Amino acid sequence: MPDQGLGQLSDGLLFAAVIVYALAMLGFAGEQASRNARRVVTSVPAEGRVLLGAGGPPLAVPAETVTTEAPSRAGRFALVLTGCGWAVHVTSLVTRGFAADRVPWGNMYEFSSAVALTAVTVFLVLVVRGRVERALGAFVMLPVVLYLGLAASALYTEAGPLVPALNSYWIKIHVAAAVVASGSFLLSGVVAVLYLLRSRYDEIRAVLDADPRATRPGLLRRGRRRPVRLGFPTTLGAQLPGSTVLDRVSYSVIAFAFPIWTFAVIAGAIWAEAAWGRYWGWDPKETWSFITWVLYAGYLHARATAGWKGRKAAWVAVAAAAALIIDYYVVNIFVVGLHSYA
Amino acid sequence: MTEHLMTEPLTEPLTEPLTEPLVTEPLTTELDEATRLTTQPAPVQQPRRGDLFGPLRFGWRQLTSMRTALQLLFLLALASVPGGFLPQRRINPLRVQKYLDDHTVVGPLLDRLSMFDVFSSTWFSAIYLLLFVSLVGCLIPRTRLHLRALRARPPKVPRSLTKLPVSEVFTTTRSVEEELERAHLALKGWRVERRGNELSAEKGYLRETGNLVFHLSLVLLLVGIAIGAFRGFAGTVLVVEGKGFSNTVALFDDVRPGRRFAPDSLVPFSVQLDNFRATYAADGKALTFDADVRWSKDGGPETPYDIRVNHPLKVDGANTYLIGHGYAPHLVFRDTDGTVIDDQALPCLPQDPQFLSTCVLKEPSTKGKQVGFRGVFTPTTVTDEGGRVGSTGPALINPVLTLVAFEGNLGLDGGTPQSVYTLDTATMKPLFGGQAHALLPGQTWRLPSGASLTYVDTREWATFQVTQDPGKLVALVASIGMVGGLLLSLFIRRRRLWVRVSTDEGGPTTVAVGGLARTDPDRFAAEFTAIATQMKE
């Protein structure tokens, strides 16, 4: 029987985790905001770097400038906060599992919480292993906080037993794999969006650097040229890591998640065979899992194909993440199918 | 070849020339070439004039090109979208009908475009068949090349090792032979080839193997699905407690045979349903469903089994699933003279989650006029002020069978087959002015003619689905191949490393090491340093 006290503890812990994540997000944002202030430009004297003109006097060599950043306490604190929030989040999920006496991913509320936890975990691993700057934190924690807030308010379900169809050891395997893959995919989707921002920023920046008064053809009337301008949200690009880094992070997270997603779909098919008598039946959930899978497979190929790599491939990653969201939320809430219970 | 689906690795975009030895002389152009091979595939050549097979070859190259394959892949995703939003006939024909009734303009239009049969439509099949043709067209040459590469020796040492992305040169007092020995040791796990005082080493062949296994498994998966679609069978049957069924086409209520299904391939066995049990939580949420059955093979000994959701009965490749349940009031109908002419448990079909169910009873062999009943069965009955019955839960707590009786001609002799769940009252007249009568278990309802209906007790029924899918195992093997191949192709890294040991007469030995990573060059730099250090020490 569900343990109500533990269930409430789990709810409270999730609430606390969201608050801590939100604070961490503010910390990261603070680090971003103070970035320019902390930027130190040092001039390296052109010592010993003397060019000799042919027979003439030594030519003046311009001093090299090096930009370094003073470390930010806000950023380090935000990272520690994220870690604390993560620990609280894990505890929330574990207590939920004990409260309901089963795996803590038996309904949409629990699933969403677990997916967000995966996204934070993958982000922390990337930062700790030095694959990406923690500066990304503000942009990653914002969707996490919104997602968790939405899940906790709109999808909330009391801790309770599973419906008979879910009562199988496959829920441990199939759903766990789906959680890990989904959390990673959503994170990669966020990074892909950031990549698009950054590469657009770079592009406009390059045009403006070459000619501050550059123009481009109008949207409706090609004849009327309009000035090229840097506007929101493209301006956010200035705060982001380089587009190569973002592209690589997005790719490596997808490369990590794709085999897991493949496995989740296959495990789902094996479970479907045991529960419904067929391993594949184009149930709406199966159909959208298939679309998601095909799009990510397309991304992995596109990223290595001329004419597709770069922005186009990133758009594929965004489309695939959208398909994943439809697969979980739209299908469960609006489309009638065999997965309607969860 | 360069434009093939998998000339591009599944993963890292740069420097994956696959088969040709990557670095010989001159190095820089080779590297450029390597990059060009993957980033800018050679354009498809226009057919020469007068070449009869030219257009064919051109078309084939187009189809098997990476760009076409990608477009087909995205087209496949796009084509599946209507199947993910619109109801599909194969899954839920009733919802399709409802959609057509609700959307009289758009509905038929969508129907003509096969939008309700997306996954068996011509256009969907065309896309995936083209995709698979493109895939096979690329797999065959690719497999051949890889098999050759597996037997090939690592390429010769480039003239200048220092031009490689990572390189190191050091001098030592050890002899040339000693140094080569050390290099061999440091390159444990690599394929090493010695040419004079030079070593060529390569590793990560499994990456391409995995890549090919993954894509070959996709083809195998399609084969498995096709076997199921052609040779498979599915049948559903409704069984009331105390009754049974055998695995014979004629005995199912509904069958879905494959296109080339052989009826004699059905596994001979029969199942007897002894008891169906459902348990519910206080709020009506279902907790467990169990069907206690006895099954036997061809007159052999009977074996008890508990068929549950997620726990089918498996007999020689035929699986029996529990897919539905409901209530069947046990009814006894007595004719005007009191003889029992009907004694059966009548299955009522659930209409809502609270198991308000409907059923029809037909009594054609009475002495007088034929009699028919329309019934509503409610397991947890409540009656509102207007006298209407409803059910507030699925559990059998307070069952009531509410009936309306009709007298006249059931219309069974017309020759048109009738469903046992519908009553045609065109030539019948309602009894008691159409007033409904509520029967509790044990009660009898006497009709004006003297005939009577007794509601003895309530039994339960279960629907079973028997499935035989001979392609299942093939699909499972293919799935395992997919995951395994994928892991190899994403996480095995290809590397090449060269060592040149030279010495001036009497002078120190010079060792030059250079390496090239085909995937994940950042991490390779660290690996390279580790190997070089081991050789230096």
| 3-class SS letters over A44-69 | ECCCCCCECCCCCCCECCCCEEEEEE
Asked if the Cβ–Cβ distance from A279 to B472 is below 8 Å, we say yes
Cβ–Cβ contact B10 with A under 8 A: yes
Alpha-carbon distance of B524 to B14, in angstroms, equals 14
- Contacting B residues, span 220-239, partner chain A, CB-CB under 8 Å: 225, 234
Cβ–Cβ contact A333 with B under 8 A: no
pLDDT tens-digit map of B116-161: 999 999 999 999 999 999 999 989 999 999 999 899 888 889 888 8
Q: Which of A169, A184, A301 to mutate to test the interface with B (most CBs of B within 10 A)?
A: A301
pLDDT tens-digit map of B474-518: 999 999 999 999 999 988 988 999 999 988 777 788 999 999 987
CA distances from B463 to B245, B313, B466 (A): 11, 13, 10
Alpha-carbon distance of A78 to A137, in angstroms, equals 8
- Determine the distance in angstroms separating the CA of A257 from the nearest CA of chain B, rounded to an integer: 11
- Determine the distance in angstroms separating the CA of B79 from the nearest CA of chain A, rounded to an integer: 9
- A194 within 8 A of A284, measured Cβ to Cβ: no
Asked if the Cβ–Cβ distance from A298 to B73 is below 8 Å, we say yes
- Contacting B residues, span 261-290, partner chain A, CB-CB under 8 Å: 281, 285-289
Cβ–Cβ contact B5 with A under 8 A: yes
Chain B's closest residue to A281, CA to CA, is: B91
pLDDT at A223: 74
Chain B residues with beta carbon closer than 8 angstroms to that of A305? 8, 41, 66-67, 70
- Cα dihedral sign, A107-A110-A111-A112: positive
Alpha-carbon distance of B356 to B350, in angstroms, equals 6
| B222 backbone dihedrals φ, ψ, rounded to 5° | -60, -40
B143-146 — which CB contacts under 8 Å span 24+ positions?
B143/B212, B143/B216, B145/B1, B145/B18, B145/B19, B146/B18, B146/B19, B146/B208, B146/B209, B146/B212
CA A202 to chain centre: 21
- The ipTM is 0.85
Q: Does pLDDT of B31 surpass 80? A: no
Chain B residues with beta carbon closer than 8 angstroms to that of A302? 70
- Determine the distance in angstroms separating the CA of A16 from the nearest CA of chain B, rounded to an integer: 31
pLDDT at B1: 31
Q: Does pLDDT of B527 surpass 60? A: yes
Asked if the Cβ–Cβ distance from B84 to A335 is below 8 Å, we say yes
| Six token digits for residue B108 | 């038929």
Chain A residues with beta carbon closer than 8 angstroms to that of B306? none
Q: Mean pLDDT, to the nearest integer, of B221-238?
A: 94
Q: Which of B70, B142, B254, B319 to mutate to test the interface with A (most CBs of A within 10 A)?
A: B70
Alpha-carbon distance of B95 to A338, in angstroms, equals 14
- Contacting B residues, span 483-522, partner chain A, CB-CB under 8 Å: 483, 486-487, 490
| Six token digits for residue B282 | 């206080």
Q: Which of B280, B486, B493 to mutate to test the interface with A (most CBs of A within 10 A)?
A: B486
Give the pLDDT band (50/70/90) at residue B418: confident
User: Burial, B185: exposed, middle or buried (Cβ in 10 Å; 0-12, 13-18, 19+)?
Assistant: exposed
Q: Which of A172, A266, A309, A325 to mutate to test the interface with B (most CBs of B within 10 A)?
A: A266
Residue with the larger pLDDT of the pair A232 and A70: A232
pLDDT tens-digit map of B397-412: 999 999 999 999 888 8
pLDDT at A70: 64
Across the interface, of B74, B287, B486, the residue whose CB is closest to A259 is: B486
Cβ–Cβ contact B70 with A under 8 A: yes
Q: Does pLDDT of A39 surpass 70? A: no
pLDDT tens-digit map of B61-103: 888 888 889 999 999 999 999 999 999 988 888 889 989 999 9
Alpha-carbon distance of A114 to A177, in angstroms, equals 11
A160: which DSSP letter? -
Q: Mean pLDDT, to the nearest integer, of B327-332?
A: 96
pLDDT at A173: 93
Chain A residues with beta carbon closer than 8 angstroms to that of B482? 262, 266
Alpha-carbon distance of B367 to B399, in angstroms, equals 31
Q: Does pLDDT of A298 surpass 90? A: yes
Q: Does pLDDT of A311 surpass 60? A: yes
Q: Does pLDDT of A181 surpass 90? A: yes
Alpha-carbon distance of B152 to B167, in angstroms, equals 24
Rounded mean pLDDT of chain B?
86
Give the pLDDT band (50/70/90) at residue A40: low
| B320 backbone dihedrals φ, ψ, rounded to 5° | -110, 120
Cα radius of gyration rounded to whole Å, chain A: 25
Cβ–Cβ contact A167 with B under 8 A: yes
| Six token digits for residue B79 | 């084509």
Q: Which of A273, A289, A332 to mutate to test the interface with B (most CBs of B within 10 A)?
A: A273
- Contacting B residues, span 176-205, partner chain A, CB-CB under 8 Å: none
pLDDT at A87: 96
Residue with the larger pLDDT of the pair A184 and B415: A184
